[in-house]
Amino acid sequence: MKIGVPKEIKTNENRVALTPIGAEVLRRNGHKIYVEKNAGVGSGFSDSDYKKVGATILNKPDAVFDVADMIMKVKEPIKPEYKRIKAGQTVFTYFHFASSRELTEAMMKSKCIAIAYETVQKSDGSLPLLIPMSEVAGRMAPQEGAKYLEKTMGGRGVLLGGVPGTQPANVVVLGGGIVGTNAAKIAAGFGARVTIMDNNLYRLRYLDDVMPKNIQTMMSNPFNIREAIKEADLVIGAVLIAGAKAPKLITKDMLKLMKPGSVVVDVSVDQGGCIETCKPTTHENPTYVVNDVVHYCVANMPGAVPFTSTIALTNATLPYAVEIANKGTMNALKSNEEIKLGLNMIDGIITYKGVADAFKFKYTPVDDVI
Ligand SMILES: NC(=O)c1ccc[n+]([C@@H]2O[C@H](COP(=O)([O-])OP(=O)(O)OC[C@H]3O[C@@H](n4cnc5c(N)ncnc54)[C@H](O)[C@@H]3O)[C@@H](O)[C@H]2O)c1
């Protein structure tokens, strides 16, 4: 198969969909790799790194899209890319169709085979191509929180771990899933006193078993949240109700209970946020202040650490890409349930119910079309 890797053109997106190691693995499986000039530079990979493993570098994005049977990307296609995508071409990337009618209509019109990272799903319900980015965002959250707790950054002037003879900071993590667990672990590693709250008792039991001594677990309910945030220096929002908006666990009124100069990092902002006063921010302008509480609500946190994020993402995507390339897209869809669940659209037909429902388009079950 001919596999094309264009340079990402969304603002501030420095990740790339395939590392030179991934290119080598695909080439050894008999495939041809075409990488757009400078596609890997933002993640630390030069054109010559790709050339060394047998990939061809193409100067223009059009040439990459023209030649490829399968396009591998990171972010959803944006306007200048729509017309480059061809009928029958497999596009393997994050799409998040339900958040954009324009993108959905453009991809229907292209008649491409859209396999979305975010809906590839294992039999236990987990989403293997979303997990790595949650791990990155979770581990970043205490780092960002620690930064904005510094006085010069608008915070209280508290060191997360304290020093001997002083109190460490109190960190409250709302949600004990992938983001929350990673956030709690890093905050605890800094030496903070961490409370992790979830409304799933089984999850709390597990966390209580495996987490270090400076992390305590607490049932998530309005009473406990109110008590915990009064003492908190840093609150990290990490809840998710799959397919729904995040519940507002800290309301505008509750925010008034927090100490001046304390910080909230709402990672769940991409699902609307679990803190009522949160609205999405960007890496250029990541924070704002409400009621003396610093709010950090960047919706694409992993974009700030492309060297790590690219490798974390491609570690997870590569086995699927190899299978699609080796078997051919249609056979891979027929024989692998996880990849089949990733299929959102083929030949203009929507095969993922959530996407069809979002815009009241016709839904056709995958098995009817493959
Ligand atoms: N901002 C970013 O850059 C970025 C990056 C990655 C992920 N995210 C987002 O972070 C959020 C969390 O993702 P995840 O992978 O950890 O999800 P997850 O499903 O692994 O974990 C969510 C947890 O929230 C818990 N929960 C649900 N309702 C709750 C409540 N009322 N109180 C307390 N806990 C509750 C669940 O029991 C679960 O343990 C998602 O919205 C995800 O999209 C954002």
The pairing of beta strand 32-36 with beta strand 56-58:
parallel
Distances from the Cα of 55 to the Cαs of 24, 30, 83, 245, 323, in angstroms?
A: 8, 12, 25, 42, 19
pLDDT at site 122: 97
pLDDT at site 243: 66
pLDDT at site 350: 97
Q: What's the topology of domain 2-124+306-369?
A: Rossmann fold (3.40.50)
pLDDT at site 54: 98
Domain definitions of the chain by residue range: 2-124+306-369, 131-296
d(CA 263, CA 237): 11
Enter the tokens of residue 233: 């220096």
64 SS3 class? helix
351 SS3 class? coil
Whether 120 is in the pocket of ligand 1, judged by its Cβ within 6 Å, is no
Question: What's the longest Cα–Cα distance across the chain?
Answer: 67
Evaluate whether 255 touches 275 at the Cβ level (below 8 Å).
Answer: yes
Whether 77 is in the pocket of ligand 1, judged by its Cβ within 6 Å, is no
Residue with tokens 């990459």: 64
Whether 271 is in the pocket of ligand 1, judged by its Cβ within 6 Å, is yes
* Probe residue for ligand 1, chosen from 131, 185, 240 as the CB with the greatest number of ligand atoms within 8 Å: 240
Same fold, 2-124+306-369 and 131-296: yes
Sheet holding 293-296, edge to edge: 215-219, 193-198, 170-174, 234-237, 263-266, 293-296, 287-290
Distances from the Cα of 215 to the Cαs of 75, 184, 190, 218, in angstroms?
A: 35, 7, 12, 10
Q: What's the topology of domain 131-296?
A: Rossmann fold (3.40.50)
Distance from the alpha carbon of residue 30 to the mean position of ligand 1, in angstroms: 39
Whether 149 is in the pocket of ligand 1, judged by its Cβ within 6 Å, is no
Whether 196 is in the pocket of ligand 1, judged by its Cβ within 6 Å, is no
Distance from the alpha carbon of residue 245 to the mean position of ligand 1, in angstroms: 11
Catalytic (active site) residue 295: no
- What averages of pLDDT result for each successive group of 10 residues across the chain (370 residues)? 97 93 98 98 98 98 98 96 98 92 97 96 95 98 98 98 98 98 98 98 98 97 98 97 85 98 96 94 95 96 95 97 98 98 97 93 96
* Probe residue for ligand 1, chosen from 267, 298, 308 as the CB with the greatest number of ligand atoms within 8 Å: 267
pLDDT at site 149: 98
Whether 174 is in the pocket of ligand 1, judged by its Cβ within 6 Å, is yes
pLDDT at site 314: 96
pLDDT at site 244: 72
pLDDT at site 272: 87
Paired strand residues for 216: 195
Please enumerate in sequence order all residues whose Cβ is within 8 A of that of 59, keeping only pairs 6 or more positions apart, or say none.
Answer: 36, 37
For residue 239, give the ligand 1 atom closest to its CA.
24
Question: Integer distance in angstroms from the first to the last C-alpha of the chain?
Answer: 19
Distance from the alpha carbon of residue 347 to the mean position of ligand 1, in angstroms: 33
For residue 200, give the ligand 1 atom closest to its CA.
37
The rounded radius of gyration (Å) of the Cα atoms in the chain is 22
Enter the tokens of residue 5: 């890797």
Name which of 302, 273, 298 is nearest 284 in CA terms. Answer: 298
